[in-house]
Amino acid sequence: MYSALDQNSDGLIVQIAEAIAEAEGVDVTALPPLHDVVNIEALQTLISTGKGRVSVEFPYGRYQIYIGSDAGVIVKEV
C-alpha cells in the first residue's frame, strides 16, 4: 500500500495510521498506538526538517512501514 508523503507533521502521523488501517482492513481507532513502536516526535522532526532525501522504516505488527521524502508512505506485510 502506497500514499504520497504529507510534509505536515500531524498529517504525516494520520497518514501513516490510515495506511496501516487500510492494509489491515480496520478503522484507525482499532489500531494499537503508533507511539508504542516509534518515537513520534523524532519521526515528525526528521521528516519535517530533513534536508534532501530522508527515509525511515520501522516494524509495526506484521508490517514494515517505509517513509521517504521521495517515496511517500509504504506499508508492506512481512
Query: Which 3-state string (H, E, C) describes the chain?
Result: CEECCCCCHHHHHHHHHHHHHHHHCCCHHHCCCHHHCCCHHHHHHHHHHCCCCCEEEEEECCEEEEEECCCEEEEEEC
Whether 46 and 57 have beta carbons less than 8 Å apart is answered as: no
43 falls in which pLDDT band (50, 70, 90)?
Answer: confident
* Rounded average pLDDT over 43-69: 85
What pLDDT does 58 receive? Answer: 94
How confident is the prediction for the chain on average, in pLDDT? 84
Q: Which pLDDT does position 32 carry in this prediction?
A: 92
Q: What is the pTM of this model?
A: 0.80
pLDDT score of 27: 96
* For residue 66, pLDDT beyond 90: yes
